[in-house]
Amino acid sequence: MTDRLHVSLAMRPASLADHLFDDTLRRRMQTVANVRPEVLEDFENPASREALAATDVLVAGWGAPPLPEDERAAPRLRAVLSASGNAGGMLGPLARTRGLRLTNARTANSRPVAEFAVAAILLAGKRALPAARLYGRLRGAVDRETHLATAGNHGARIGIVGASTTGRLTIELLRPFDLHVVVHDPYLDEAGARSLGVELASLDELVRTCSVVSVQAPELPETRGMIGAAQLSAMPDGATLINTARGSLIDTHALVAELRTGRIDAVLDVTDPEPLPPDHPLWDLPNVLLTPHVAGSLGNELLRLGERVVEELEQLAQGLPALDPES
């Protein structure tokens, strides 16, 4: 390629770019392209419109403004490289109708989510939540053989709901541990399950037989509310439900009702709605660990997303296929 690509960054707030791209990543971008130093937060003012008109590649982060529907506003644009989950969805209809090269960092973001899930699964196997409650109540020695007789990760059945990118990575990260992993996914067949080294099961069988259930399916019309009252009531006493996917996959009303019985525990990084109203009962239930959607990339993990974007830019500059293309 003889002409260097002209790259603009678009995201809100503009300071997000400093968390995605450190000096090393910025130098790599500058090696293959001319990168505009200022970050665009909108396409409304004259300066940002001028920048967009001269842009070949748009690097988008959270809060990126929608592209103008008039393709004359970005006549040179040929690619949108997203540091988040969906380039086309973030940037409006022009991204699709123009036939732009669209990529996202969903694969890179799956790593911390899977790591969070694995940590939660192993802690759940050790019955960490009920053990902490018991210890706090006794404020003294705990008879572990009596009160935690069912705890432990030796041969435990772990259910993964959804063989998504994150679900598959979770399965991979669980391999070194002495666990029996069971997966439910309507698009996974027996041969696929064997290749992953897992047991394939229906959703009802999975929730009935697994001591830990980790929800990692995508949010689709058919997956909303897939974990309802029937599935929750079928979970064994002392089981733990983990959700790092989307809150809508679990019927919140049914979940609250089941948790109030004290039979099961829950680790919820996502909820429906999100965030929960201040008076929502999930805040106060002792058998619930609520975290504020931290399983995905945050802090220094954002650099992994930035690195993926830089890799996509390098692929484009060398005339090579995209690593994570959007269909």
Residues labelled catalytic: 246, 274, 293
The one-character DSSP state at 321 is: P
Residues in the chain: 327
Residue 51: partners with Cβ closer than 8 Å, 6 or more residues away: 8, 36, 38, 40
Task: Please tell me the distance from the alpha carbon of residue 107 to that of residue 127, in angstroms, as a whole number.
Answer: 30
- CA proximity to 265, closest of 161, 135, 132: 132
Does residue 13 have a cis peptide bond before it, meaning omega lies within 30 degrees of 0? yes
93 burial class (0-12, 13-18, 19+ CB within 10 angstroms)? exposed
Identity (one letter) of the amino acid at 308?
R
Four-point Cα dihedral 284, 258, 160, 90, nearest 10: -60
Instruction: With CA atoms as reference, report the closest residue to 94 among 118, 75, 70.
Output: 70
- Round to whole Å and give the CA distance between 81 and 309: 6
Place of tokens 């004259």: 46
Name the residue with tokens 């009935």: 208
